[in-house]
Amino acid sequence: MKLDLNAAWDQAVRLIAFNREVVLVLAGVFFFLPQVLFLLLVPIPDLAAAAPAGESSPAMVAAINGFIAEYWWAILLLTLVQTLGGIAVMAVVGDPARPTVSDAMRRGGTYLLSSIAAQLLISFALTLVFFAAIFAGAVTGSRALVVTLSLFVLPLILWLGTRLSLSGASIAIERIGNPVTALRRSWRLTDGSGFRLTAFYILLFAAFFVISQVLGLVVTLVTALLGAELAKVLDALFGGLIYAALMVVAYAVLASVHRQLAREQRVSVPGTPAGDP
């Protein structure tokens, strides 16, 4: 199945605009507000101070491990809330039935554990591939081989992650409760589109990264003229806004890609009508 990337992006924008009232509510409740509260109430370690040269160091690792050990509950709660929000957003923009806010939130609660299980399976699979490559190089005792395998395994991990990236959309839109079935569904949908979709994701991430960095620089210049407390609040508000926008666009893109590939898959089957998924 050939994926039309321009059509996928255009449809994602239309889906957001068409459902903007519901999407704004979900984005505010599940992404913006939780992210702002997290940034304001949880002390984020200063990694730049731990590693002034910009390189990994024992002090940086210790700071990260200490932060996770102390605030694991906050990270877990934030993850659960935002995963539920992701399901709700994809259900709203991807389901032709156009569920209401309450319906989307109920669906998020119903399939929350399925979505988390799918994410854990994906993380485990990608981590396994990475360590398998490192282990293969370590067995030979060749540092050059370890570096070479690491360079080759990164594109492989990106490709595998892309092939499984529609599992969440399959759960949210098609209401697939079995995480393994959702992973298989994603694998079938992305068959033949893995490389194009990987490039699409990378381009979107790069564009959003550049935009967020430019806006972040502007906010930093403004907050530098203010007091420390007010600057912290403004930074948190800006961080929450950027994160909410990123999540909404990302989930809308996943829903759009899922709709297109699911439609094309049905059309490819003789006698199957070509309606909306």
Q: Is residue 273 part of a domain?
A: no
* For the chain, the helix, strand and coil percentages under 3-state DSSP, each to the nearest 5: 80, 0, 20
How much is the average pLDDT of 24-44?
93
| Of 48-52, 54-58, 112-116, 128-132, highest mean pLDDT | 112-116
According to the model, what pLDDT value does residue 145 have? 65
| Percent share of the chain, pLDDT over 90 | 50
According to the model, what pLDDT value does residue 89 have? 95
**If pLDDT is split at 50, 70 and 90, which confidence band does 52 have?**
low
**If pLDDT is split at 50, 70 and 90, which confidence band does 270 have?**
very low
pTM for this entry: 0.85
Q: Is residue 272 part of a domain?
A: no
Q: Tell me how far apart the alpha carbons of residues 91 and 100 are, in angstroms, rounded to a whole number.
A: 9
Q: Is residue 274 part of a domain?
A: no
Query: pLDDT higher for 37 or 214?
Result: 37
Q: Residue 269: pLDDT above 70? A: no
Q: Tell me how far apart the alpha carbons of residues 275 and 132 are, in angstroms, rounded to a whole number.
A: 43
- Ramachandran sector of residue 57 (left: φ over 0; alpha: ψ -120 to 50; beta: rest): beta
Q: Residue 55: pLDDT above 60? A: no
How much is the average pLDDT of 54-65?
69
* Nearest in space to 29 (alpha carbons), one of 108, 118, 113, 96: 108
Query: pLDDT higher for 217 or 57?
Result: 217
What is the overall mean pLDDT for the chain? 84
According to the model, what pLDDT value does residue 56 have? 54
Which residues contact residue 46 at a Cβ distance below 8 angstroms, ignoring those fewer than 6 apart? 63
Element (H, E) at 46: none
Q: Is residue 277 part of a domain?
A: no
* Nearest in space to 52 (alpha carbons), one of 61, 42, 60, 44: 60
Q: Is residue 124 part of a domain?
A: yes
According to the model, what pLDDT value does residue 202 have? 92
Query: pLDDT higher for 59 or 241?
Result: 241
Instruction: Give the chain's domain count.
Output: 1
How much is the average pLDDT of 145-152?
70
Q: Residue 83: pLDDT above 90? A: yes
- Give the CA distances from residue 18 to residues 12, 38, 147, 252, 276, in Å, rounded to whole numbers and listed in that order: 10, 30, 48, 12, 15
**If pLDDT is split at 50, 70 and 90, which confidence band does 273 have?**
very low
Q: What is the pLDDT of residues 200-225, one digit of tens each?
A: 999 999 988 888 888 878 877 877 77
Q: Is residue 117 part of a domain?
A: yes
Other residues' Cβ atoms within 10 Å of the Cβ of residue 3: 18
Residues in the chain, total: 277
Q: Is residue 276 part of a domain?
A: no
Q: Tell me how far apart the alpha carbons of residues 213 and 228 are, in angstroms, rounded to a whole number.
A: 21
Residue 154, domain extent: 5-267
Two structure tokens written together for 269? 């089957």
